[in-house]
Structure 1
């Protein structure tokens, strides 16, 4: 997707503070951080929403979760605790239509999230 901001980050066309990457996923700091640690884990391949996932994407989703775990350890928030969130479509709070897993920590999270 030529106009997708996350695809442009993956291609190196836009700057991002990358904190973790593999062949399939990349993780970078959110520009609009909602917690002291706020990292986005995205697949390198464009998938617009959770509704667009296919059964063959199961391992990719697992890799995204393992990347979130690795980021939490790397950022020093794993033992204290952290939150992971994926939003889907407008009412779910999705603002960039390229699936992404938020990793938030460094403060006490509240419930409900809002």
Structure 2
């Protein structure tokens, strides 16, 4: 399924992006509006609208996204000091793009959210 989002265009290299990692399952790239010194988005290479659309057939993608995020955190030297991983789900959860994506944030001390 395609949704013609900006993420799909980045995955397919139709628009330029600072891609950090790409394999046959996911693509990771720098956020264009970073909220921390290190702010990387990790997206599946196939369309999943949100966390609500994780199912039996595609559930393994989430573990691959986490595995990749941990490896990127190590490469960026933020794994020891700490980092934050965020998934937003739908409008009230803060999801702005209708395409499953993980935020990896680090490089500063994060404020507590609650």
Same fold by TM (over 0.5)?
yes
Distance 1:3 1:56, change over 3 A: closer
Paired position in structure 1 for 2:64: 63
TM-score, normalisation: structure 1: 0.94
**Number of equivalent positions:** 113
Paired position in structure 2 for 1:46: 47
Paired position in structure 2 for 1:17: 18
Gaps of 5+ in 1: none
Over residues 33-72 of structure 1, what are the superposed CA-to-partner deviations in whole Å (9 max), with x where a residue is unaligned? 0000000010000111111111222211100000100110
Higher mean displacement: 47-56 or 29-38: 47-56
Structure with the higher fraction of residues in helix conformation? 1
TM-score, normalisation: structure 2: 0.94
User: What is the distance in 2 between the residues matched to 1:54 and 1:26?
Assistant: 20
User: What is the distance in 2 between the residues matched to 1:52 and 1:58?
Assistant: 9
What RMSD over aligned residues (CA atoms) do the two structures have, in Å? Answer: 1.1
Matched, 1:4 2:5: yes
Gaps of 5+ in 2: none
TM superposition outliers: structure 1 runs of 4+ over 3 Å: none
Measured after TM superposition, the shift of residue 22 of structure 1 is 1.5
